Structure 1
Amino acid sequence: MGIIVQKFGGTSVATPECRDLVVAKIKTAHDKGFNPVVVVSAMGRKGESYATDTLIDLARTAYKDIASRELDQILYCGEMISAVIMTGTLQAAGLDAIMLTGGQAGIITDNNFTNARILKVDPSRILSLLRMGKIPVVCGFQGATIDYEFTTLGRGGSDTTAAALGSALDAEMIEIYTDVDGIMTADPRIVSTAKILDCISYGEVCQLAHQGAKVIHPRAVEIAMQKNIPLLVKSTFSDEPGTLITNIVPEDTTESNVNDRVATGVTYLANIAQIKVNLHDSLNNIASFNIFKSMANNGISVDLINVHPGQIMFTVSEELADKAAAQLREFGCDVQTTLDCAKVSVVGGGINGVPGVMASFIEALSINNIPILQTVDSHTSISVLIKKSFVHLAVTALHEKFNLSC
C-alpha cells in the first residue's frame, strides 16, 4: 500500500462540521488502499481561540518583544490542540489514529526559533505506526532540535511539514487541502474571470508563491520537487479535482508540456517601499556592496534590485523602510523613499525566449495609464513596481492581456 500525505489547513479543522469533511477525505484515501499520513494546522484564523496569530498576540500581552524561543513554546500549542482534536475525531469514526508532535514524527531542525529550517527527517516511527495499521496525525509547522527544544517553521510551515514527510516517506502524493478549489490564474476577489489551473509545474508555482500567491508555501514545493513527488492543491469543502503540481504531464491532458503556455498567472505583493540611492562615489561596485551588506546585517530583505551607474534602486517591506533609509543615511547616502507601492508579476514557464512578452506587459499597463516605477524580469516572471492604488487595475489588465481566462 502506497503512502499519501494529506495536509489540512486551519479552516479545514476549525469546527466539528469541517472536521467531519476531513474524516471523509482521509477515509476515501484509506478505502482506495493508501496509507494516509495526516498533517494539520492550528484551528481557525486570527481572533479564534487557538489560531497561531491569536497565540502570538496572547504571548505579546506579557512582553511585546518576547524572545523567539519562548514564543515557539506557545506556538507549539496551536497545532497540538488541533492534532489531538482531529485524532479524537478520527478515533470516534472508527479509524485507528495516533497523534504525533513534529519532533515525535522525526522532524529535526536547527535552533532558529520561529523560523527554523529542517535539517533531516527520521521517518522510522511513522513507518512503524503505518505497519501497525495506524493513521499518524502530525502537528504541522513544528520540529525539534537535536537537544529536544521545540521549534516552529515559519509562516506556511504546515505545508513544509507535509512536503518534508512526503519526501522522507517516498509518498506517492502530497495533498494540500485548503478552503479554495485550487491554484487560480489571479486573485478571484480582483479578477472575476480567474480560473483554476488544472496542472502547473513546480517552477511556476514557486514563482507564483514567491511573488505573492498564498495557496502553498514555496519551501514545500521545493522540497517535493527534489524527489518529484506530485502535489495536489484542493478544497476540503468540495469534490473539485484541484490543481496538480508536477513536472510530469497527466495522460489525459491535451497539453504537450505544462510549460507550453506563455503565462500561468498574475499575482501581487502590496505594502512595499521603493528605495533610491544616488551615488556620488566613482567606485560604484564598492558602494553597492556596502549598501547591500548593510541591509543584510540589519535583517532587511531587499527585492526588485536595479544597479545603474550613479544610482541603486531596490524595494523593502514598508514596515522596514524607515530603518533602511536611516541606515543608508548613516553612510552619507542621498536616499529617496517612495511608500504605498506594490509589486505586480506575470508568471509563466513559457516567458523565456518568447518575443513580445515584455511589450505586451508594458502595453497592458500603458493603455490603462498605470505609471511604472521600476521593472525586473527573470526566465519565468516579469514584475513591475507601481503605486498600490493601481493594483486591481493592473492585475485585471494583465490577466486579460495574456488571455488567462481562456
Structure 2
Amino acid sequence: MGKYVVKLGGSVLADEVSIERASSWIKGLLEKGNKVVVVVSALKGVTDELLRSSQRLHPDAPPEMLDEILAMGERTSARLFTLALRRQGVDSVLIDPASPHWPIITNNQHLDATPLLETCRQKVSEGLAKLVEQGKVPVVCGYVGLTIDGKITTMGRGGSDTTAVVLANCLDADEVILVKDVSGVYSTDPRKDSEAEVLEVLTAEEVFRLSKGGAKVIHSKALLFLHPRGKIRIGSLDTLETTGTLILGSEIPRLNVVVDDTNITMVTIIGESMGEPSKIAAAVKSVESAGGKLAAASVEEESLILYLRGDGEIVEKLHDYFVQNRLGKAVSHFPNLSLIKIYGAMLELVPGVIFKAVQPLATQGVNLFGVLTISSSIRIFVSTKDVEKAVNLIKKNLSEYMTQET
C-alpha cells in the first residue's frame, strides 16, 4: 500500500479509448490498496489549438485572458477523466479552480506562474488530503493555478508535472508517477539513436541538468518542488510495472551564489577560424598534456579564450603548441582571477537574471573578465581582489530570489 500522485500526459489522453485505458490502469492501482490522486493534462493537441485560435483572433491578447482560455483544456480533460473513473466504479472527485478544495495557489506571473509552496500545503491539508483519507480519488487539473485573489494562471510548458510534484510534496506521497508515451528517460533521443537505453535511476540534480540542456524529461521548474526524500517514476502504461526511470530527490538550491575558485588564469589565443573543432580539440589536448585544468572556455571567430585553474604556468606550453604549429597567431594571459558561480532551480524563473547579477558590479566599478552561461549555471570572472565585494553585491541584488517562497 502506498500513496501516489499520478500525472497523465496529453499523449496518454489522446481519445476516448486511451482515456478508458488510463482509467482502468488507475483502478488497478487502487485495487492494490493504494491511495491515488490523479493530475491530468489537456487532451493531446488541445492546448496548442487553443493557443493558435487565440493568436489568430487577437495576436496581442492579454496574458490574463490567455490563461483563462488555455486552462479550458485541463478543465475539460479533468471532467472527462472523472467520468471515465466513475464508470469503472471509482469514487472520483473533480478538482478544478472552481472547487472549494482547489490546492494550487501561484504568484501573479500569467502564462508562467510559480506555485507558492507553503500556501499550497495549507490548502492541501484543508481539502485534498481529507478527500484522500476518505478513500476518494481527486482528479486535479494540471497546469492551472489560482492567484491569492482568485485569478486563473497557467504554469507554462510542463506545468502539469509541476502540479503533480507540488501535490506529492504537500501530501507526503510515496511517489509521483508521470505516465508518458515513452518507456522512461533515455540516454539520448531514441528517435535519433537506436542504441538509446532507458536509464533506471537518476538523481533530481542530474535530471535538472538534462532538462536545462534541452532534454524533454520533466520541466525543470517541477524539480524545484520535489522533496529531497521524494521520488518520481517515469514510464508508459505498458512499462511502469517492469521498467521505467526512477528519479530520486536531492537538494537543488533555489538560487545560490558561491566562489568556485580564486586562482583562475584567462588565456586568449588569437588567430583565424578559432571556432573550428580541430582547433578547439587542440586547445583541450594541449591543456591536458601540460597538466592543466580547464574551468571554462569561450569561442569567437578570431579568438579562443580559456579559463584555466592555476597560475598560468602552462601558458608558455600553449604558446609553443599553437604558434609553432600555426594554429594561432599569438597567446596572452591574465592571472589572478576568481570564478563566481550562480546556480539553482530558480534561474529560469528570475527575469533578466544575468543583468541583475552584473548590473551592481558595473555600478560599483568591478571589472568583468567573462560572463558565461553553462548548463544550469552562470559563471562570472572577476579579479580576485574584487571577488568578496562582487559576491556580496550579487547576493544583495538577488536576495529576494534566494528566499523560500516567491
TM band (smaller chain): 0.5 to 0.7
Q: Distance in 1 between matches of 2:352 and 2:224?
A: 24
Question: Alignment length, in residue pairs?
Answer: 272
Instruction: Select between 217-226 and 62-71 the one with higher mean Cα deviation.
Output: 217-226
Match of 1:76 in 2: 71
What does residue range 12-161 of structure 1 map to in structure 2 within 5 Å?
12-45=12-45, 51-102=46-97, 104=99, 105-119=102-116, 120-121=119-120, 122-123=123-124, 124-161=126-163
Report the Cα offset of residue 70 of structure 1: 0.5
Q: Distance in 1 between matches of 2:174 and 2:6?
A: 11
Pair 1:231-2:232 in alignment: yes
Match of 2:271 in 1: none
What does residue range 160-199 of structure 1 map to in structure 2 within 5 Å?
160-199=162-201
Q: Distance in 2 between matches of 1:41 and 1:242?
A: 20
Asked if the contact 2:180/2:235 (under 8 Å) is kept, the reply is yes
Q: Distance in 2 between matches of 1:25 and 1:31?
A: 10
Report the Cα offset of residue 311 of structure 1: 7.5
The Cα offsets for residues 31-86 of structure 1, whole Å up to 9 and x where unpaired, read as: 121111000000002xxxxx111111111122101110010000110000110011
Report the Cα offset of residue 313 of structure 1: 6.8
Q: Distance in 2 between matches of 1:247 and 1:39?
A: 20
CA distance 1:275–1:72, change in 2 (3 Å) = farther
Q: Distance in 2 between matches of 1:88 and 1:39?
A: 14
CA distance 1:151–1:247, change in 2 (3 Å) = closer
Asked if the contact 1:234/1:241 (under 8 Å) is kept, the reply is yes
Q: Distance in 1 between matches of 2:145 and 2:368?
A: 46
- CA radius of gyration, larger in: 2
What does residue range 234-273 of structure 1 map to in structure 2 within 5 Å?
234-239=235-240, 240-246=242-248
The Cα offsets for residues 186-206 of structure 1, whole Å up to 9 and x where unpaired, read as: 011222101000111111011
For structure 2, the residue ranges without an aligned partner over 5 or more in a row are: 251-298, 304-336, 338-347, 358-366, 380-406
Q: Distance in 2 between matches of 1:191 and 1:7?
A: 28
SS at match of 1:27: helix
CA-atom RMSD in angstroms: 3.5
Q: Distance in 2 between matches of 1:275 and 1:151?
A: 42
Asked if the contact 1:230/1:246 (under 8 Å) is kept, the reply is yes
CA distance 1:222–1:310, change in 2 (3 Å) = closer
CA distance 1:113–1:247, change in 2 (3 Å) = closer
Q: Distance in 2 between matches of 1:27 and 1:137?
A: 13
Partner amino acid, structure 1, of 2:73: G
Match of 1:322 in 2: none
SS at match of 1:143: strand
TM-score normalised by structure 2 residue count: 0.60
SS at match of 1:175: strand
The Cα offsets for residues 89-129 of structure 1, whole Å up to 9 and x where unpaired, read as: 11111111111115743111111111111112111211222
Q: Distance in 2 between matches of 1:100 and 1:80?
A: 9
Q: Distance in 2 between matches of 1:218 and 1:15?
A: 28
Asked if the contact 2:12/2:19 (under 8 Å) is kept, the reply is yes
Q: Distance in 2 between matches of 1:30 and 1:131?
A: 13
Partner amino acid, structure 1, of 2:53: L
Asked if the contact 2:27/2:88 (under 8 Å) is kept, the reply is no
Asked if the contact 1:41/1:141 (under 8 Å) is kept, the reply is yes
Report the Cα offset of residue 146 of structure 1: 1.4
SS at match of 2:153: strand
Q: Distance in 1 between matches of 2:16 and 2:150?
A: 33
CA distance 1:128–1:76, change in 2 (3 Å) = same
* Percent identical residues: 34
Partner amino acid, structure 2, of 1:111: N
